Amino acid sequence: MEKIIIEKSRPGRRGYTLPKLDVGISDIQNSIPESYLRKEAANLPEIAELEVARHFGRLSHLNYNIEQGLYPLGSCTMKYNPKINETVASMSGFADLHPNSTDEMSQGALEVMYKLGEVLKEISGMQGVSLQPAAGSQGELTGILMFRAYHKHRNDTKRTKILIPNAAHGTNPASAAIAGFEIVEIDSNAEGMVDIEDLRSKIGDDVAGFMLTNPNTVGIFEKEIETIAELIRGCGGLMYMDGANLNALLGIARPGDMGFDCVHINLHKTFSTPHGGGGPGSGPVCVSERLIPYLPIPQISKDNDKYKLDFGKEHSIGRVHTFFGNFGMFIRAYTYISMHGNEALRQISENAIINSNYLRALIKHNYKIPYTEFGMHEFVISADYQKELGVSAKDIAKRLLDYGFHAPTIYFPLIVHECMLIEPTETETKENIEQFADVMNKIAQEAREKPELVTSAPLNTPIRRVDDALAARKLNVRW
C-alpha cells in the first residue's frame, strides 16, 4: 500500500535549499499580527527531494485520466480535450492579460468572448447570452434567478413553484431551492420520459417554471417536448433546459426552437474544455428575448469594430462570478468550435449517438435494459440480473477497475433500480468501445460463475475496497 508522505518523513532530511535568513526572526514576528503566528512549529514531513519527486510521480501514474482510457461517466461527457486548445489558451496575449485591464487594452479578449457568445446563441437558438457562470450548476442558479426577476418585474409574485422531473440532475432542485422556490416533482412514465398527465395535474398559476434535461438523464429525447412547452407557457411559466446533454444535439436540434427560455451550456462537457479537479468549469447561459433584460452584468457589446463591457442594465440580476467568468475556458471552447465548423459539430453528436447505441447493443444480452426507446448519446442499464446472484452495480463498478477501466455512473438516475448510466462519447474508437463491452460481458459471466470474485473487487488496485460509509461518518483529516 502506498504510504502517505507524512509516513515517509525522517528527521533531518530536506527537499529544499533556502538562502541564509538576512533579517532577524523578531523582525518577522513583529511584522505579522499575533493572531496569525503559529503557537507550535508546523508538523511538516522531512523528505529528500528525490523522494518527493518519486512520491508524487507515483501518485500521478495512479490517477486515472482521459489519456489513459475510456471515461464512460453518464451525463458527464468526459471527452478528450485536444491539445491545440491548451496551446491557444497559453498564448501570452491571453494568458498574461490581467482581468483589471481596460477595455482598450483587452480588445482581443473581448472579441473572442463576444464571438463565442454569438456562436453559442446560434447553437442554442437563443437571443441572449452570459458567459459568467463558472459551472453548469451556477448556470442553473443564474437561469432560475432570471426567472424570479422576470416574474417579479411583472408583479407576478404568486409564482412560487418550479416543476422538476424525478429523474433530474440533483443540481436542478438545489438551484431552484437556493433561488427561493418550492420544488414540485414530476413523475416519469414507463418509457423513461416525463409523465404528461402528472405534469398536467400540477400545472397552475403559481408555477414559475419547469426544468428539464433533454435528452433526459436516461439518454432519451423527450418526444412530447412541444406539449410540455405548451402546458408551461399556457400557465404563464418559463422553460429551463439543463444543457448537460447538449453533446447529443449539436447541429441537430436547438433548445430555443423547442420552446425553452434558458439553457446552460457546459463548456467542459460539450466543447472539450477541462473538467479539472472540481474546476475550472464554465456554464454560460443562453436566453430567449424575454429574459435578456435580466442577464448578469457586464454584457459584452460591439460598436463598429470596438468591444466594451456594458454595465448599464437596469433589471440585471447583477454579477454571478468574479470578473467575467473563466476566461481560459472560453478560449479553449472557441478554438474547438472554430476548428470544427457547422458540419463537424453535427458529426460530433451523430458519432456520440452511434457510439452509445453500438455499446448498448454489445452488452444488452447480459444486462437488463429498462427502456427500449432509441437512445441518444448515453443509455442506462440495470444490474438487476446480477443482483439476483448477489452482485450489485457497485460490485461491477469495482470490478471494472481491475480491468483498467473507469466505472460508469452508478445509482443515477434513481428511477432505475441498480442503475448504471453509460456515455462513451464520440471521441472513443470502435475498438475501444468493443474492448469495454467485452469486459462488461466478462464481468456478467463472472457474476454468474464466480460471484465472490466480483463482490470482493477490486483485487489489484493499490487500495482495496474501503468502507465508504464508515469513512464518511468517521472522516480522518489529520494529515
Q: Write out pLDDT tens, residues 249-268.
A: 999 999 999 999 999 999 99
Neighbours of 152 (CB within 10 A): 13
- What is the average pLDDT across 169-179? 97
Domain extent at residue 17: 5-61
| Selection from 170, 213, 163 nearest residue 193 by Cα | 213
The CATH number for 210's domain is 3.40.640.10
Whole-Å CA distances, 58 to 6, 54, 61, 264, 370:
16, 6, 5, 38, 41
Residue 277: the pLDDT is: 57
Lowest mean pLDDT among 338-342, 432-436, 467-471: 467-471
CA distance 44 to 5: 10
Question: Does 87 share its domain with 57?
Answer: no
- Burial label for 67, CB within 10 Å (0-12, 13-18, 19+), is exposed
Question: Does 171 share its domain with 226?
Answer: yes
Question: Does 167 share its domain with 112?
Answer: yes
Q: Which of the listed residues 309, 339, 369 is the one where a domain comes to its end?
A: 339
Q: Which of the listed residues 339, 368, 386 is the one where a domain comes to its end?
A: 339
Question: Does 323 share its domain with 250?
Answer: yes
Does residue 477 lie within any of the structural domains? Answer: no
Does residue 76 lie within any of the structural domains? Answer: no
Question: Does 370 share its domain with 411?
Answer: yes
Question: Does 148 share its domain with 251?
Answer: yes
Residue 479: the pLDDT is: 62
Per the omega criterion (within 30 degrees of 0), is the bond before 458 cis?
Answer: yes
CA distance 336 to 338: 6
Question: Does 375 share its domain with 261?
Answer: no
Residue 441: the pLDDT is: 98
- What is the average pLDDT across 33-48? 85
Does residue 345 lie within any of the structural domains? Answer: no
Is residue 276 very low, low, confident or very high in pLDDT (cuts 50, 70, 90)? low
**Average pLDDT along the chain:** 94
- Burial label for 272, CB within 10 Å (0-12, 13-18, 19+), is buried
Q: Which of the listed residues 61, 92, 107 is the one where a domain comes to its end?
A: 61
Query: How many Å is the Cα radius of gyration of the chain?
Result: 25
Whole-Å CA distances, 463 to 8, 289, 395, 399, 466:
18, 53, 15, 13, 8
Question: Does 383 share its domain with 281?
Answer: no
Question: Does 356 share its domain with 444?
Answer: yes
The per-residue DSSP string of 262-298 comes to EEE--HHHHT-----SS------EEE-GGGGGGS-SP
pLDDT tens-digit profile of 395-416? 999 999 999 999 999 999 999 9
With a CB cutoff of 8 Å and minimum separation 6, the contacts of 463 are 1, 2
Residue 15: the pLDDT is: 87
- Burial label for 157, CB within 10 Å (0-12, 13-18, 19+), is exposed
Neighbours of 18 (CB within 10 A): 6
CA distance 335 to 325: 17
Neighbours of 277 (CB within 10 A): 7
Does residue 407 lie within any of the structural domains? Answer: yes
Does residue 344 lie within any of the structural domains? Answer: no
Domains of the chain: total: 3
With a CB cutoff of 8 Å and minimum separation 6, the contacts of 421 are 73, 74, 75, 217, 218, 219, 378, 379, 380, 408, 409, 410, 412, 413
State pTM to two decimals. 0.91
Does residue 134 lie within any of the structural domains? Answer: yes
CA distance 120 to 246: 11
Strand order in the sheet with 285-287: 128-130, 285-287, 262-264, 238-242, 207-213, 161-165, 182-186
- Paired strand residues for 302: 307
Cell numbers 443564474 label which residue? 142
Does residue 249 lie within any of the structural domains? Answer: yes
The CATH number for 391's domain is 3.90.1150.10
Lowest mean pLDDT among 104-118, 132-146, 344-358, 464-478: 464-478
Cell numbers 480522518 label which residue? 476
Does residue 476 lie within any of the structural domains? Answer: no
Question: Does 183 share its domain with 297?
Answer: yes
Question: Does 319 share its domain with 363?
Answer: no
pLDDT tens-digit profile of 190-213? 999 999 999 999 999 999 999 999
Contact between 326 and 284 under an 8 Å Cβ cutoff? The reply is no
Q: Is 419 helix (H, G, I), strand (E, B) or coil?
A: strand
CA distance 137 to 80: 22
Give the rounded percent of residues in the chain with a pLDDT score beyond 70.
98
CA distance 202 to 226: 17
Question: Does 170 share its domain with 229?
Answer: yes
Residue 395: the pLDDT is: 98
